[in-house]
Each structure stands twice: as structure tokens, then as C-alpha cells.
Amino acid sequence: MDIFERFAVPHPSPAIYVSMVAIGLTVIAIIAGLTYFKKWGYLWREWLSTVDHKRIGIMYLISALLMLFRGGADAIMMRAQLAIPENKMLDAQHYNEIFTTHGTVMIIFMAMPFIMAFMNYIVPLQIGARDVAFPRLNALSFWLFFMGAMLLNISFVIGGSPDAGWTSYFPLANNEFSESVGTNYYMFALQISGMGTLMTGINMITTILKMRAPGMTLMKMPMFTWSSLVANIIIVFAFPVLTVALIMGTMDRLFATNFFTSTNGGMDMLWANFFWVWGHPEVYILVLPAFGIYSEIISTFSGRNLYGYKSMVGSMVIISLLSFLVWTHHFFTMGQGALTNSIFSITTMAIAVPTGVKIFNWLFTLWKGKIIITTPMLYSLLFIPIFTIGGVTGVMLGMSAADYQYHNTMFLVAHFHMVIIPGVVFAMLAGFHYYWPKMFGFILNEKIGKWTAWIISMSTLLAFMPMFFSGLDGQARRMYTYSESTGYGIWNMLSFIGAIGLAIGFILIVYNVYYSTRYASRDISSDPWDARSLEWATPSPVPEYNFAIVPNVKSVDVLWEAKYNNHILFPGKYENIHMPNNSGIPFILGCIFFAWGFSFVFGMWIPAISTTIGIFVCMGHRSLEKDHGHYISVKEIEETETKLRGA
């Protein structure tokens, strides 16, 4: 009985029962389907044990989209609850769990894997490499992220979801005020996926610094690779802080240490400091690769080189430095006095300058270009005005005296959605449409794509612009209800309609994938957009080894040079290619980490100890294992190339 009570959901509702049934049915359907079509072997060989950066990238992409719908469903429930004053659809506890999960899922388990998907898939191709520096570590990174995401997702049906906000401020997040295991889930889900992210950071930096094709100096790297490099450097500096903060938080919750308590010498503002020393750079980890994608797309569809390449790189480096100097603006109201607030107010507003440089560089990339508006380009063009509105409101928030009035209000919520959605989500959708033909060999339907882009962007405006007004009218964020006399009703209703529009847009994306998979022409070249950089020099679909011959680079737009200025891209002849072997260990290790996290969430010490041993056994196995990879012979390469290039 005790066990049952421990794992039961503390606040059951029809929605949770429906989810339970849905999860159960999905699992049964997947297992039955795999067995019926005899796909277990295929799944294991081609996906679960793969170390190929392209397949890992695709797995990240699928996970990100799944989580987008998970977090989106939360968003719809929140907006529906607030659409009318004194709504009784959700109670306070349920609402708190939903906004906490929405924030956590969207940042950690949607936006992060989305950028990881493109980094994994594109970076090695853009720099002319055959894989990342540590392919097996890369697989492990993915499985740690994935298992972290799953751990957070089961919290909804086993034991209770986190309910202290995605920022999980102590002492609210401590046992005294958050009694359910929800916050334990938060701690372990973020910890496990955070470890994966840190490994990716190290992996990508090594890949970019050590594995570029001959001739590709740092200042000849495509902009997406540059942005990935900078973002990964931020990851390596920022994520250890999160790791430490989460360990301390976990210790407080499980072992009654007093790092963040309000009594016994703990310090509650320490959590806020740690969280935002990681959390503020985190937003640049997300947005810089997104900027990189925009640079690629805008340059490609303007038919022109990127304007101000050097200042683009410079501004990213400056942003990365400033990102570590502004965390205090997240708690201007913590009473640190006028001097401290003034300093952080200035550093915060200073970020607007390099960001502005990037906006103007994109605008000048259009100058004298030959602009073709495709779906990816449409997202990139819609990004500029919406992001500008989001960005300038960021400057407004940066004025700390004024922030006293915006702090914790819907104004802030409006601001960060108006930067993160166009900044990150639009970029990822643009990249999704742009790189789809490289990944799958056909173009997503342009007509549906453009409709979707318009619906999503206009709905973003409709959903978030009203929040600026309700915020200025005194609506605090995270309120599960409000009275009619406040007058917030109209703004929240508009937001709800916008949210519905966003949902329709995202469903249309799925429909587009379905429609195009069935009807799109497979007869496209490997370079359907007339693009400029190396990833488009490979055949589609990309063979396991990426490049049969290592490319020779002499400029940023190397493919463009090869196409129009007679640059010889692939000198020399085929040679045997050394590739890493697949391994099931990363997946198995990921599963053990899942069980490890789950055991700790519920304080089950015997499984916790045995899974810990399991982790070390896997690591030991890797240390003692002899695995030198394999060679792909010239004959095989010739066959593959002939088949793919259709020569």
C-alpha cells in the first residue's frame, strides 16, 4: 500500500487519467507495430546503436518536435484557463504544474534538442568532416538528453509533476513548500540531460577546432558553424554551474542539507544566482545557433554573400562574453541597491548593440540581392520584425528602475516569448524546411509551408502582444486566475485565440510532413536551393562517410565558388575511409541513467546503488574494450557514389 501511495499522482484529474491511457496505448502500439513488422533488429542496428552524427541529429529533431507538442499542449491549457476570469477549468495546483512543465520542457527539452539536431547534422557537413570528434560520446549525449526528457515526462503520471516554476526558486522548491516528488524529477531530469549537453559542448568544440577540411581557416567557417562554436563554448562555461546548483538542490531535498533553506544558515538567493549564471547564458546558447541558421538562409536566398561577416563573428563573441555579465538583471528587485542595479542595467542594455549589428547585417545582406521567398526565407524575414519588437522590450526591461514595474509581470512573459519564439523556434522551423531535403531527399510543400509560416507568425503577435498591456495593467505572471474587475479578461482572451492559432500552425507542419512524404517529388538535386556552403556539396541522402573525398576549401562560400568560379572542390581520388563502429552501450547507459534518476527521485536506495554500479560497469567496459572501427573500401565508395549521384 505504501508503494502505491508513493507512486500515485497526488492531484489526479480526468486529464491525467486520459494521459495515462494515451501513454499506455501508445507504448502498446509501438511494441506491437515493431514486432508485427519485424523492425526490432532494424531499430537497434540503424538507430538505437548508431554513432552516425546525421542519424543522431535526426533523433534529436524528432524528440524536439515531440516535446514541442508536449509543451504546446501545456501552453494551450494555460491560455484556456486564463481566457476567462475566474475560470474553474484547472485548479491552482494543476496550473502550477503545467506552467512549470511548460517552461522546463520548452527550454530544456524542446529548444535545446532542436539546436542540437542542427548542430549534429550540419556542423560536420559544413566543415567537411566525416563525423564529430567523439562519435560514441555523441550518441551518449543524445541518450542522456532523451532519458532526462522521458524522466520529466513520466512525472505527470507517476508521483506528481514539478510545481515550483521552471526557475524552481528555493525555498519554495524545498521539501517544506513543495512536498511532492515533482521537484526531485526536475532536479534529476535536468541533471541527466545537462550532462549530455556538457558532453556535446566539448565534443562540438573539438570537432570544429580539429576537424575542419584543409583550407578552412576560422575566418572561412560558415556562419552556422561559427555560431555553434560560440554557443558550445558558452555551454562548457555555463553548464557546470547548473550541475553544481542541481546537486546542491538535490542534497537539500533528499539529504536535508541547508544550502538554500531559509533557516539554519541557508541562503535562498544563492539558488537564484546559480540558476541565472547558467540561465542567462543559456538563452544565448539557444539563440546564437538560431542566428547562424538565419545567416545561412538569408544569404542563400538573397543570392549573395553574408554582409559584414567579420562583424557578425565579432558580435557573437561579444554577446557570449556579455551573457555572463548580466545574470543579476533577473533579480533587480532582490534589493541589491542602486549601484549594483546600475551596473547590471548597463551591461544588459549593452547586449542590444551587438544584437542590433546582427539585425542590420541581415538587412544589408538583402541589399542588392536577388531575394527569393521560400518557406525558410519567409520564416527568416518574419523573424526580423517580431524579434525586433521582442528585443527592444528587452532594453526596456533592462532599465532597472522601470523593471521594478515589469518584474514578474506578463510584460516580461510577453518579452521573452517575443524573442524566443521568433529567435529560436522560427529559426528551427526555417532550418527544418531548409535542411529537410538534405536529410530526407525531398522538399516540403512550399504552399503549406508558407501558409504555416504566416499563421505561426501572426498568431505569435496575437498571443503575446496583449501580454505587454496586461502586464502594464498589473497582471502578475503565474496567476492561475483573476477576478473580472481587474479587466485582464480581454487581453487573455486575445492571447488564447493566438495560442489556438499557434497550435493550428504546428499541426499544419505535421500535415505538411505527411503530405510531402506522400506526394513530393523525389527528383531533386543534392543542392535544390542553389546554396553556398559545403553541406550542399554532398549527395542527398548523405552517405555514411559524408564526403568521398575530403573537400578543399578556399572561401566562406566554397560551394558557390565551385559552382560559379571553377573552384575544384574535391581534388584527388577515392581512398579507404575509416569510420567508427556502432555501439549499443550509449543507449544502455542512457537507460541505466533513467533508472538511476528514477530511483533517486523516490529515494529508493537499493536500486539507486545498483544503477550507480551499472553506470561504472558500462564505463569500465568502454575502458577495456578494443574497438578500432572499420574501413570502407574504395570499391564500396565507388558503388555508393555512382548510385547516389546517378552518374
Partner 1 sequence: MKKKWAILTAIFTITTMLTGCESFLVLDPKGPQAQTQAKDIILSIWIMSFIVIIVFGILAYMLIKYRASKQMPDYRPPHIEGSILVEAICVGIPVIIVVFLSIVSVQSNYKVESAPAIYKDKEPLIIYASTSNWKWHFSYPEENIETVNYLYIPVERPIEFKLYSYGPITSFWIPQLGGQKYAMADMVNTLHLAADVPGEFMGRNANFNGKGFAENTFNVTAMSQEEFDEWVNEVKDSAEPLTEQKFDKLLEHGHVGQSTYTGTHLTFLPPPEGENGGHQHGASQSDDSDNHSSEEHSSSEDSNSAHNSH
Residues 81-140 that bind partner 1 (CB under 8 A): 92-93, 96
For partner 1, give the closer residue by CB, 19 or 336. Answer: 336
Distance between CA atoms of residues 439 and 425, nearest Å: 19
* Minimum separation from the CB atom of position 331 to partner 1 (A): 7
458 touches partner 1 by CB under 8 A: yes
Q: From 26-34, 105-113, 437-445, 460-468, give the range in contact with partner 1 by CB under 8 A.
A: 460-468
Shortest Å distance, C-beta 450 to partner 1: 9
Residue number with CB closer to partner 1 (16 or 346): 346
CB 199, min distance to partner 1, A: 32
- Contact of 340 with 328, CB cutoff 8 Å: yes
Please select the residue that binds partner 1; options are 345, 495, 526, 611, rule is CB under 8 A: 345
Distance CA 439, CA 539 (A): 10
Closest CA to 371 of 316, 299, 424, 442: 299
As measured in angstroms, the least distance from the Cβ of 547 to partner 1 is 26
For residue 393, the one-letter residue type is T
- Angle CA 405–409–412, to nearest 5: 95
Q: What is the closest distance, in whole angstroms, from the C-beta atom of residue 298 to partner 1 in the complex?
A: 10
Q: How far is the CB of 270 from partner 1 (least distance, A)?
A: 7
Q: Name which of 130 and 358 has its Cβ closer to partner 1.
A: 358
User: Using CB under 8 A, which of 388, 446, 567, 622 touches partner 1?
Assistant: 388
Question: How far is residue 65 CA from its own chain's centroid?
Answer: 10
Which listed residue (53, 54, 130, 407) binds partner 1 by CB under 8 A?
A: 407
Considering only residues 268 to 287 of the shown chain, the ones binding partner 1 according to CB under 8 A are 268-270, 272
Interface pick for partner 1 out of 3, 14, 255, 263 (rule CB under 8 A): 263
Contact predicate 208/235, CB 8 Å: no
Compare residues 206 and 258 and give the one whose CB is closer to partner 1.
258
Strand partners, 577: 632
Residue 276 and residue 348: Cα distance in Å, rounded? Answer: 13
Q: Which three cell numbers stand for residue 166?
A: 521552471
Scan residues 348-387 and list those touching partner 1 (CB under 8 A).
Answer: 349-350, 352-353, 356-357, 359-361, 363-364, 366-373, 381-382, 384-385
Q: Which is nearer to partner 1, 42 or 177 (CB)?
A: 177
Under a CB-based contact definition with an 8 Å cutoff, are residues 586 and 161 in contact? Answer: no
**Residue of 400, 492, 516, 599 interacting with partner 1 (CB under 8 A):** 400
Q: Which of the ranges 64-72, 132-140, 347-355, 587-595 carries the binding residues for partner 1, by CB under 8 A? A: 347-355
Where does this chain touch partner 1 (CB under 8 A) — which range of 45-53, 338-346, 507-515, 531-539?
338-346
Q: Does the footprint of partner 1 cover residue 634 (CB under 8 A)?
A: no
User: Given the C-alpha cell 538563452, which residue does it identify?
Assistant: 283
Within 10 angstroms of residue 534's Cβ, the number of other Cβ atoms is 27
CB of 532 to partner 1, least distance (A): 11
Instruction: Rule CB under 8 A: choose which of 317, 472, 493, 497 binds partner 1.
Output: 472
Residue 131: which of 471, 544, 635, 416 has the closest Cα?
544
Cα dihedral sign for 416, 420, 426, 429? negative
**One character per residue 7-46, x = contact with partner 1 (rule: CB under 8 A):** ----------------------------------------
**Which parts of 476-495 interact with partner 1 (CB under 8 A)?**
476-482
* Window 297-316: residues binding partner 1 (CB under 8 A): 302-305, 307-311
DSSP type of residue 213: P
Of 468, 506, 536, 593, which lies in the binding site for partner 1, with binding defined by CB under 8 A? 468
Nearest to 541 by CA among 62, 57, 29: 57
Binders of partner 1 among residues 492 to 521 (CB under 8 A) are none
Q: Which amino acid is located at 539 in the chain? A: P
Report in angstroms how near the CB of residue 405 gets to partner 1 at its nearest: 4
Interaction of residue 389 with partner 1, rule CB under 8 A:
yes
Instruction: Determine the Cα angle at 260 with ends 259 and 266, to 5°.
Output: 65
Q: Counting contacts by CB under 8 A, is residue 154 touching partner 1?
A: no
Contact 80, 504 (CB under 8 A): no
Cα–Cα distance, 481 to 308 (Å, whole number): 48
Nearer to partner 1 by Cβ, of 331 and 596: the residue is: 331
Q: What's the length of the chain? A: 647
Closest CB 328 distance from partner 1, rounded Å: 9
Q: How far is the CB of 108 from partner 1 (least distance, A)?
A: 19
Tell me the β-bridge partners of 630.
Answer: 579
> What's the min distance (Å) between Cβ of 220 and partner 1?
13
CA torsion sign for 39, 42, 43, 44 is: positive
Q: Segment 569-608, which members bind partner 1 (CB under 8 A)?
A: none
Contact, 475 vs 469, CB < 8 A? Answer: no
Closest C-alpha to 118, from 163, 65, 167, 161: 65
Interatomic CA distance for residues 70 and 72, integer angstroms: 5
Give the largest CA-CA distance in the chain.
Answer: 77
Residue (22 or 372) nearer to partner 1, CB: 372
10, 165, 541, 607: which one binds partner 1 (CB under 8 A): 165
Q: Which of residues 426-455 bind partner 1 (CB under 8 A)?
A: 454
Nearer to partner 1, 310 or 628 (CB): 310
C-alpha distances out from residue 58 to 61, 282, 407, Å: 5, 23, 39
Nearest to 508 by CA among 559, 447, 461, 558: 447
Q: Among 563, 559, 557, which Cα is nearest to 547's?
A: 559
Residue 401 lies near partner 1 (rule: CB under 8 A):
yes
Q: Give the x-and-dash track for 174-203 against partner 1 (CB under 8 A).
A: --xxx-------------------------
